[in-house]
Amino acid sequence: QKEVEQDPGPLSVPEGAIVSLNCTYSNSAFQYFMWYRQYSRKGPELLMYTYSSGNKEDGRFTAQVDKSSKYISLFIRDSQPSDSATYLCAGSSNTGKLIFGQGTTLQVKP
């Protein structure tokens, strides 16, 4: 079993929809959680990070962590075609070693 599990999709939504992306993880030592966005043929770029459980909001993006159920979510409001990309969740303990999920491919159709 991978330490971080993520449905690869693809997920296709119409422009303006609310998108929900989810991951589960198995390592109880994870304290830090991140979402990266990766456009085709580019390196991943950090979108959001959170520490421990709770919510964090940044513009149209909300990251949510529930440590009791080992569940990580990313919500995108008012999705845009420019949001079309692969979204990778990741977790880490305090070692700095970041473990990634498989990534979910999102397509937002105009």
Partner 1 sequence: DAGVIQSPRHEVTEMGQEVTLRCKPISGHDYLFWYRQTMMRGLELLIYFNNNVPIDDSGMPEDRFSAKMPNASFSTLKIQPSEPRDSAVYFCASSRNTGLHGYTFGSGTRLTVV
Residues that bind partner 1 (CB under 8 A): 32, 34, 36, 42-46, 49, 51, 88, 92, 94-103
Cβ distance to partner 1 smaller for residue 17 or 22: 22
Quote the least distance from Cβ 20 to partner 1, whole Å.
Answer: 20
The closest alpha carbon to 34, from 74, 85, 83, 94, belongs to 74
**Cα separations (Å) of 56 from 21, 49, 74, 75?**
15, 8, 10, 10
Residues 6+ apart with CB under 8 A from 107: 10, 11, 12, 13, 84
Q: Least distance (Å) from partner 1 to the CB of residue 100?
A: 4
In angstroms, give the least distance from the CB of 39 to partner 1.
11
**Pick 74 or 103: Cβ nearer partner 1:** 103
Nearer to partner 1, 76 or 103 (CB): 103
